[in-house]
Each structure stands twice: as C-alpha cells, then as structure tokens.
A and B are shown apart, each in its own frame.
Chain A
Amino acid sequence: MTPEKNDESRPPSSDEVEISVFGPGFGECIVLHVGENNWIIVDSCIQVDQKVPAALAYLKKIGVNPGDAVRLVIATHWHDDHIRGIGKVLEACNTAQFICSEALNTAEFLTLVRAYGKRIMMQQTTGIDEFNHVLDILGKRAKSATRNDVPKFAIADRILWDKGNSRLGNTSISCRISALSPTDAASLASKLEIVDLLPHEKDSKRRLQALTPNQAAVVLWVNVGGVHVLLGSDLEEISGSNMGWSTIVQSAILPEQKARFFKIPHHGSRTAHCDSVWSDMLEANPIAVLTPFRNGSVTLPTPDDLRRIIALSPNTYVTAAPTLSRSRKRIPAVERTIKEIGGSIRQIQHVMGHVRFRIRPLGIGKIELFGSAAQCMGENFRPKCNR
C-alpha cells in the first residue's frame, strides 16, 4: 500500500473509519474514529513541543471537541510509555468512560497509586502519577454526579462497548469493541505482583519500576462495520501458560473474520511475537503499525525485529525511527568535564510520528504518514509522502 500525501487536519467523513497511531520515540497513543463522530482513545503519549497529549492535539487539529465526541478512554496498562498525559486526556473527554485492565481492579493497586502517587520524583512523572490523576478526576466526577464516573475493567472476552447499528448514508455500520486480554490467569498473576510492590514500613523509598513481562495489558478487538482491527498493546507471549498471545489465539470468541489492521504488540519486540497470531488472526499482508521504544539500554524494535515483521507484512509502518542524536551544545567546561569522566549524553528524539489509516466500509482504505512516521522497507525506512 503506497502512503498518500494529505492534509493531517482534514477530519474523516462521518462514515469513514479511522485508526491513527501516534508515537514520538517513547510512547504510544491510538485514536479511533468509529463513525458518526464517535471517537475512542487508547493509551496516551505526549507531544513534547506542545506539552499536550498527542490525542488532544490531534482532535483539536481536526476540529473535534473531545468533550462531546470521545466515548472511551482506555489505559491498556500503567507503563510510563503508554500513559503519559492520560489524566489530561480524561479530563478533556468529560463524557468518556474510563477503562483499564481487570488486573488493576484491587484495593492494593489503589493503595499503591495513592502511596507512590505523591511524587517521589521531582521532575519526571511516572505511570503511577498519571493513575493518581485519573483517580482524582474520577473522584471529582463521582462527587458532582457526572455520568460515567464508574470505571470499567477489561478482561478477556468482555464486550467493552457496543454501539449497535446506525445508518450512515447508504451503509449501516455497527461498532463493537471487545477485550481479548488479560486472561483470568494473567489478571490474577498481576494482582499478586502488585501486592509484592506495596511499600512496607522501613523500606527505603524509590521510584516504582514497571512489572515485566507485560502479561496483563489489554488487547482489543475492534469491529467497525466489518473492518476488523487488532490492537496488541504491550502483551507479550508467555507460552505454556494461560496468558499471552498463544492463549488469545485459541479464544473461542474470536470472529471468523481476520483483522486487516494490527497494532504490533510491545514495540515489535521478539518477546511479543507469536506465529499463530499472524496465521490465524490477521489477513494476509495486514497493515501493521508499531511504535518505537527507547529506555536505558533497550531499543525496540531491534533490526532483527524489523526484518522479521517486514517479512510477515510489506505493509509495515513505524511512527518514528528510534534514533538518538547528539545532545545539545553546552558550555565548553561542561562538555569537557562529561568527556573527561568518560560519560556521554544523548538526546532522545521525540519527533511525533502519526500513521493514519482511513477506510469506508467495503472500501480499500488508505494510509497517510505524518511527522516522523515511515514505511519500513527492507533495510531502510521509506520517507513519508514519497509520491
């Protein structure tokens, strides 16, 4: 599929389905238009130059009022790269329902959020800080008796939202969003791990580290007017267990149809790869989109990851190349000192990339790339809008 050059600010027409994936190099956000100005936001990342969550910046750009139009705000898991700015998103989407993993549906998770949410770090926010913000917003809503104050918890085989049929021009489109994970086993395992993270008297405080592997992330199956979409979040493959991708593939509730669009799980990591997902759940050569991840010594996708994914679908896109660049110039005395101690500093690229797929029911659809987004082609990325 050849990417098209288009105007990012043009909104979709009311019968057009849209899946937009945003990623600045560290972070991920998905914005869905499911017809008739109904929007869904899955996860959040920040548009660094604007300090605005990517989803809100985009909706503003295309002239959509998030307060009226966003139906669901879904946090697939609480890792920093999927949740930055989700508090602001929920605040702006004041009629949207908040959804998160059933694995977080415990008193212990709330205690963890309330204990660690009191900003142990001075400057850098964490996923827990964001959840703390979410709890405050939900609390405020509950007090003012606004609708949709009760959160919904996603677990395998649960329908999260069903819009039913609605007529759009000559077509009739339905929309149903279901959770395929976490499984009961994954949810339970995560709940137990959260208990282990609770602070104990006399333990010294430190920043909370994320749980691995990602077993309790919410994987979504979206069916909009017959366009099937699989959003893989960060779910990893844990074979020989009742969790992970090979369990999802065997789910009895999967529809006969296969997905045309796949948000590749966990930034293309090999640990989230499962052959049978590609053979049993996806159309041949699906549109596959991934966001990069860079933290510490971990860079995803790796070159091997990219080769593997491109071999599975030539229609693979990435929101940004996971590059690092030289740090900005500092005064010579500082530069010299860093060099002399044998240290190095690099700037993490946060150029927001946007991969947009729009399709009318029964149509072919089109891919558009904005910002640093690119198509992955063999050994290189194809520059955007190269027609």
Chain B
Amino acid sequence: MSIQTTSASEQLWQDNVPEKRDSSSTETPSIINQIGSDLLLSHFGQPIGRIIPTTVETVTTIESSVVQPPPSPSRQDTFISLQKWEGTVSYIGEESFMACLFDLTAPGPDEEAEIPIKEISLDDRELLKPGAVFYWSIGYQDSKKGQRTRASKIRFRRLPAWRIEEIKGAEDDARKIGDLIGWTRESDSDDYLLGELRK
C-alpha cells in the first residue's frame, strides 16, 4: 500500500481539517521524570490487570518561565490528570508520529492524533513502533512548594516479553480448538469448480 498524505487543497470532498501548525515554534523544555510505577498507575487510573508494565514517562511542562528548582529525590510532585487517552501508534514520520486514540476520560468517537516525536523520552524512543501502545495524559503538575504547571505526559507500555509457557499454552489451545471445530482439515476437492461455472 502506498502511503500518501492528502493535502486539503487537493481533496475532492469537503472537510475542515485544521491547519498544520509549525511545531518548531512551540519548543518547550522536556523533563525526563521517573516516578514509581504504583504512583503512575494511580495517575492513569488504568486497570492493567496481571501485567504491570515497566514505564518511563516523558513530561513536557508548559509555562516553563516559572523557575523550577532541581528535582530532589526526597519530594515528589503530584499530578492532577485532566485528560487521558490510550493510543496505538499507526504511522511514524520524520518529526511526528500518528496514533489512534481512545479517550479514557470521556469515551467518544475514535480520534487520531499527530504528536511530535520530541515528546517521547529518549528512553522510550526505541518503543516507538507501529502497533506500540502508549498512554497520554494532560494535567497539572503541583510541586511540593505549591507551584502549578500544566504538563503533558506520554508513557509507552513496556509489555513483558513472551514466555515459553504462554507460547506453548497458545499452541495447545490452538490444537484443541482446531480439532474441535475442524480447522486445518484437508480442503475438500470435490466441490472445486473445475470449470463448471461455464455451464
């Protein structure tokens, strides 16, 4: 399949695609922040089930004119989430990537986002692949000193590696269901057309 980006001017249909902004004008300092996974889970309020992913998050703080003291390990900021999405990477361009979003705050119609790659922490860049799953959260970051900044956090799910037991389990399961429903039987040859459509 050829990948093509359509520009609004050449479209044959009416739409109201918002104009693409120049992302270079919105340079904001990125702070790589490591927070314990329990805390992250509470931030995202996401029932992860049995698998607790290891996460690294990228925090872009806006209003960076506020002078931030260097982070000290003894205190932790609080993050108040205003908006959360689950995303799947669909396409990776040179400076941005595209993703399908599912709104976890107020589920609604499917959305797609274009997000600058600089929003992804260097540690997470290796995870930026088509099909990768991430969580995107926007909210307020309150420091212990009472300073509030707006923040955008993206963390990629580090899914665990396949274990041999899981693979063997899937194979066993496949064999059982295959035998039960007649999958992988030999194809019947008697009802092939063999030219009889011409009749």
Residues of A within 8 A of B (CB): 26, 48, 102, 105-107, 110-115, 120-124, 135, 138-139, 141-143, 149-151, 153, 155, 157-159, 176, 178, 198-209, 212-213, 221, 236, 252-256, 266, 269-271, 294-299, 302-303, 306-307, 321-328, 330-331, 333-334, 336-348, 350, 376, 379-381
Give Cα A298 to B161, complex, Å: 30
Give Cα A333 to B13, complex, Å: 32
Partner of A345, one of B47, B101, B119, B140: B101
Question: How many inter-chain contacts with C-beta < 8 Å in the A-B complex?
Answer: 276
1/0 per residue B180-199: CB within 8 Å of A?
11111101000111111110
* A343:B192 contact, CB within 8 angstroms: no
Q: Using C-beta atoms within 8 Å of the partner chain, give the interface range for chain B.
A: 35 or more
Stretch of B34-42, B67-75, B80-88 with 4 or more beta carbons under 8 angstroms from chain A: B80-88
Chain A residues with CB under 8 Å of B10's CB are 303
* A296:B91 contact, CB within 8 angstroms: yes
1/0 per residue B85-127: CB within 8 Å of A?
0101011010010111110100011111111100100000000
Give Cα A202 to B165, complex, Å: 11
Looking at the assembled complex, report how far the CB atom of B163 sits from the nearest CB atom of chain A, in whole angstroms: 7
* A201:B162 contact, CB within 8 angstroms: yes
Q: Knowing A207-B132, A336-B150, A348-B111 are in contact, say whether A331-B4 is a contact too (CB < 8 A).
A: no
Give Cα A306 to B150, complex, Å: 44
* A122:B46 contact, CB within 8 angstroms: yes
Give the interface centre of A114, A143, A322, A330 by most chain B CB atoms within 10 Å.
A114
Instruction: Give me 14 A-to-B residue pairs in the complex whose CB atoms sit less than 8 angstroms apart, sorted by A's number.
Output: A26-B110, A111-B170, A122-B46, A123-B102, A138-B177, A201-B161, A206-B129, A209-B130, A212-B1, A302-B6, A338-B138, A341-B116, A348-B112, A380-B12
Give Cα A115 to B131, complex, Å: 16
Within 8 A of A (CB), among B13-67: 13-18, 20-26, 28, 46-48, 60, 62
* B197:A255 contact, CB within 8 angstroms: yes
Chain A residues with CB under 8 Å of B177's CB are 110, 114, 135, 138-139
Q: Knowing A139-B181, A337-B152, A346-B111 are in contact, say whether A321-B15 is a contact too (CB < 8 A).
A: yes
Give the interface centre of A205, A334, A379 by most chain B CB atoms within 10 Å.
A205
* A269:B131 contact, CB within 8 angstroms: no
Q: Please name the residue on chain B nearest to A350 by beta carbon.
A: B109
Give Cα A106 to B184, complex, Å: 5
Residues of B within 8 A of A (CB): 1-6, 10-18, 20-26, 28, 46-48, 60, 62, 82-83, 86, 88, 90-91, 93, 96, 98-102, 104, 108-116, 119, 129-133, 138, 140, 150-152, 158-164, 166-167, 169-171, 173-175, 177-178, 180-185, 187, 191-198
Give Cα A323 to B150, complex, Å: 32
Looking at the assembled complex, report how far the CB atom of B51 sits from the nearest CB atom of chain A, in whole angstroms: 9
Give Cα A139 to B133, complex, Å: 31
* A298:B16 contact, CB within 8 angstroms: no
* B100:A337 contact, CB within 8 angstroms: no
Give Cα A303 to B7, complex, Å: 10
* A255:B104 contact, CB within 8 angstroms: no
Give Cα A299 to B8, complex, Å: 12
7 closest Cβ pairs, A-B complex: A342-B23, A296-B90, A296-B91, A110-B174, A115-B170, A205-B159, A150-B182
Q: Knowing A111-B170, A201-B162, A344-B20 are in contact, say whether A333-B140 is a contact too (CB < 8 A).
A: yes
Chain A residues with CB under 8 Å of B25's CB are 342
Give Cα A115 to B13, complex, Å: 41
* A381:B170 contact, CB within 8 angstroms: no
Q: Please name the residue on chain A nearest to B130 by beta carbon.
A: A209
* B183:A337 contact, CB within 8 angstroms: no
Q: Knowing A155-B187, A253-B197, A322-B13 are in contact, say whether A340-B100 is a contact too (CB < 8 A).
A: no
* A105:B82 contact, CB within 8 angstroms: no
Q: Knowing A204-B160, A297-B91, A297-B98 are in contact, say whether A334-B83 is a contact too (CB < 8 A).
A: yes
Chain A residues with CB under 8 Å of B96's CB are 342-343
Chain B residues with CB under 8 Å of A342's CB are 21-26, 96, 116
* B131:A209 contact, CB within 8 angstroms: yes
Chain B residues with CB under 8 Å of A201's CB are 161-164, 167
Chain B residues with CB under 8 Å of A150's CB are 181-182, 185
Chain B residues with CB under 8 Å of A199's CB are 162, 166-167, 170
Q: Knowing A110-B178, A334-B82, A334-B83 are in contact, say whether A341-B119 is a contact too (CB < 8 A).
A: yes
Give Cα A206 to B181, complex, Å: 28
Q: Knowing A123-B104, A199-B167, A213-B1 are in contact, say whether A149-B112 is a contact too (CB < 8 A).
A: no
Looking at the assembled complex, report how far the CB atom of B179 sits from the nearest CB atom of chain A, in whole angstroms: 9
Q: Knowing A296-B91, A344-B21, A346-B111 are in contact, say whether A325-B184 is a contact too (CB < 8 A).
A: no
Give Cα A138 to B181, complex, Å: 6
Known contacts A142-B180, A336-B62, then 18 further A-B pairs from the complex at CB < 8 Å, ordered by chain A residue: A107-B171, A115-B170, A124-B100, A149-B182, A158-B191, A158-B192, A159-B197, A201-B163, A202-B161, A205-B162, A208-B131, A209-B131, A302-B4, A302-B6, A303-B12, A338-B138, A341-B152, A342-B25
Q: Please name the residue on chain B nearest to A318 by beta carbon.
A: B13
* B4:A299 contact, CB within 8 angstroms: yes
Q: Please name the residue on chain B nearest to A160 by beta carbon.
A: B191
* B62:A143 contact, CB within 8 angstroms: no
Chain A residues with CB under 8 Å of B180's CB are 138-139, 142-143
